[in-house]
Chain A
Amino acid sequence: MTQSLEFNAATVDEALQRACEKLGLSPEQVSYEVLDPGSAGFLGIGARDARISVTPVSAEENAGSGTNEIRSSEHYAEHSNSGAYSEDDTAQTRKQAASQDFLDEIEQYVTQTVQKMGIDARVDVYDAGEYIAVDVAVEETGLFIGQKGETIDALQYLLNVTMYKNREYLKRIVIDSEGYRQRRIEAIQGMAHRTARRVAREQRPIELPPMSPSERRIVHIFLKDNGRVTTASKGSGDDRRVTISPA
């Protein structure tokens, strides 16, 4: 019934991105299996493309148990270098601009949701190139963001699912309020930095608290060039966390 297709690119993330663009699906709508993680080689010698096998999934098929062999597309969110830390953000990965109609539809959805939540807000939507930015100015920022961002992240997830239900996947839609995302990035980087220092000093692995895919990604990217430690994500679902180990 569902068939899988093979894609390859320099990295797993790029292969997945290519697959999503080709299939017109969001990373949330596919499962993939890494056939070959690829290799950067040494000084370009022995470099090998990453190969993945991608299967479009509908929500129903995935609702029940999460199989482990087929890795969910969260890996994509976690390890892809989008945003401020992008290294290979070349013209080739530049994303198509969102139409005004699409931006208006996003604004309408967020405005209505926030209003129905009983929160007064001003919603501003614009295409930020890599992603679509939704800025929500509210009186009760704390309520809108929630503990560790659980409300703003939940709304962002529903917004992405809803907007791409009947539309070809374009780019991620990110909701922010009062500079929350940047503050959270800095807080996580601070924690990653302090923990890495301790790991190197005590020469033992330390686990960070459970974090969302995008938050774990911040840790992986932040510590990528730190030669004294390595990072890996372990656990499943809401309990998935980064372990920092001595290199």
Chain B
Amino acid sequence: MDQLEDLLRFLVQGIVDDPDSIEITGTENGSRVDLELRVASEDMGKVIGRGGKTIGAIRKVMKAASVKANKRVNVEVVG
């Protein structure tokens, strides 16, 4: 789970203006990993992207990484 959190933080850092405000809470339940992502309110739009395109791309990269780690990851942006 730490590795998935680390990857999520890295990807989000590149997109937002305020990387210090990134907060990630992870819960692990068997092979399922839920990651809750919080960013500065001004950065919400950037993380989600036009029509959800950016968060969609983040989820796809996270999914590939979780498959590799034999996990199922779920990323939610929390406002």
Contact B60 A146 (CB under 8 A): yes
| Distance between A227 CB and nearest chain B CB, rounded to angstroms | 36
- Within 149-203 of A, Cβ neighbours of B (below 8 Å) are at 150-151, 153-155, 157-158, 161-162, 165
Instruction: List the A side residues contacting B64 at CB < 8 Å.
Output: 117, 143-144, 146, 151
Q: B6 in the interface, Cβ–Cβ < 8 Å?
A: yes
**Tally of A interface residues using CB under 8 Å:** 31
Q: How large is the interface on B (under 10, 10 to 19, 20 to 34, 35 or more residues)?
A: 20 to 34
Contact stretch, chosen from A9-17, A57-65, A95-103: A57-65
The complex places the Cα of A66 from the Cα of B52 at a distance, in Å, of 10
Contact A118 B45 (CB under 8 A): no
Across the interface, A118 reaches (CB within 8 A) one of B3, B42, B60, namely: B3
Instruction: List the A side residues contacting B50 at CB < 8 Å.
Output: 28, 59, 62-63, 66, 72
| Distance between B68 CB and nearest chain A CB, rounded to angstroms | 5
Contact B69 A118 (CB under 8 A): yes
Q: B22 in the interface, Cβ–Cβ < 8 Å?
A: no
- Also in contact, A116 and B7, with CB within 8 A (given A59-B46, A146-B64): yes
Contact B7 A143 (CB under 8 A): no
| Distance between A212 CB and nearest chain B CB, rounded to angstroms | 11
Contact A60 B45 (CB under 8 A): yes
- Within 100-156 of A, Cβ neighbours of B (below 8 Å) are at 109, 112-113, 116-119, 140, 143-144, 146, 150-151, 153-155
Interfacial residues, chain B to chain A (CB-CB below 8 A) = 3, 6-7, 10-11, 14-15, 42, 44-46, 48-54, 56-61, 63-65, 67-69
